[in-house]
Chains A and B, each alone.
Chain A
Amino acid sequence: MSIRFGLLALLDQGPRYGSQLRAEFESRTGTTWPLNIGQVYTTLGRLERDGLIRPEGGGDAKQQLYAITEEGRRSLVEWFDSPVDRTQPSRDELAIKLAMAVGTPGVDLREVIQRQRRHTLSAMRDYTRLKADAMNADRSRPESADSDPDDVAWLLVLEQLIFYAEAEVRWLDHCEARLVRLAAQRAERGGRAGGPPAADEAPPRPVARKGASS
């Protein structure tokens, strides 16, 4: 879906070849979502089938110039005018992994969280490095020149990655804090029952059945 409208948005700026579209898509988004040329031609084929673009001039399939149609323009306006649907979240591997780790024997959930946090923080540092480079490049442009739209777009994409990584780290911290609290409650209940204190227990594997704490 996003590639389809991404290509349409580029074609709205004037007719382009497939290879050109691929290069422009990537310079707007860095190489965050690399596109292979096959995907580009498949998508162009579908856009043409749906009447949103049309071939211009002659040329073979690989050297074909495409232009947006009126229908394509309407479709693009509609895309920009509507929010991206967040009520149908795509499957997230990390959420699935944590959900599966809860209660799985032999899996140390806090260790899973810790490893992920280390990785995400390191990714966040890498993105921040790229952002610093992008900001430095922008600083070095002559004052009379406007920012290059490709550079601005790349910065927006990078910042999304940074903010999402930050949100993920906060979520992981929250998960861990919850596990610690559940373990403490469990230890307390164990203590009250006359059992040995469970403070030195191996990292807790919480029982997160619904209603378990009520």
Chain B
Amino acid sequence: MSHPGTDEPAAAVLELRELSRTHGTGPAAVHALRGVHMTVRAGEFVAVMGPSGSGKSTLLTLAGGLDTATGGEVLVEGQALGQLKRAQLAKLRRTSIGYVFQDYNLIPALTAAENIALPRELDGVRQRTARREALAALEEMGLAEVADRFPDEISGGQQQRVAIARALVGDRRLLLADEPTGALDTETSDAVLALLRRRSDQGAAVVLVTHETRFAAWADRVVFLRDGTVVDESAASSAESLLTGEGAR
């Protein structure tokens, strides 16, 4: 990845250095991630694949500052997350990082548009501006008609798209998506992937966790994890056999 017209590599938006996450201690310790290195630059779209339990979601929660590493560090736009105060981390998460969860995490008492506008308002954007941005984000997801409905009044697929719109609203430089197409039909999934691709082409760094080769094909690069370590760093290795672990010798 480079800036147009130069040979300079684009700035690293996300850097994982020797990143580890262990749950528990002693013989019962579970090593979810073991010394993972990864750099995602501005304008780069990276897919992360691997079998269940390989550490994909852990990698994403650490990258998004939602969990704390037990070793190594996460840098977002050059800032080491472990060295930020809680308020600074919260601000970084609100302004720079868009996170699409496997479950939607919408606030039931707020309408679709309010759910999307909330993080912007928390960040000091005027209510009217935040509302306008939220409506534009809903429009982009083809959901303008549900703006004033509550989460329990819309379908699972629509809730998922509202959650995606919330993650993408504003100028997020790092987009993290964990199986964002789970509840969606193939056509809507394509629309979501196309949207992530567009954001990446516009300069965002995108990390997508998926188990579908067809979705990973939207990315510039595929990182394969197994047992908490990176086993391959391109689209070159077996997708399915890495996923099922059958390829392990």
Contact = CB atoms under 8 A, between A and B. Distances in A.
Answer yes or no: do A and B interact. Answer: yes
Interface of A: 114, 117-118, 121-122, 124-125, 127-128, 131-132, 135-136, 162-163, 165-166, 169-170, 172-174, 176-177, 180-181, 199
Contacts of B235: 118, 121-122, 125
B215 to A, nearest CB: 9
Interface centre among A128, A169, A174 (most CB of B within 10 A): A128
7 contacts: A117-B239, A125-B235, A128-B214, A162-B214, A173-B238, A176-B247, A177-B240
Interface of chain A, main secondary structure: helix
A121 B217 contact: yes
B233 to A, nearest CB: 13
A121 B194 CA distance: 18
B246 A181 contact: yes
B194 A136 contact: yes
A124 B217 contact: yes
A176 B241 contact: yes
B244 interface: yes
A165 B217 CA distance: 10
B240 A163 contact: no
B85 interface: no
A128 B217 contact: yes
A166 B244 contact: no
A180 B241 contact: yes
B198 interface: yes
B121 interface: no
A12 B236 CA distance: 45
B249 interface: yes
B197 interface: yes
A180 B247 contact: yes
B150 interface: no
A6 to B, nearest CB: 26
A177 B238 CA distance: 10
User: Which A-B residue pairs are the 6 nearest by beta carbons?
Assistant: A173-B240, A177-B246, A121-B235, A128-B217, A124-B217, A118-B236
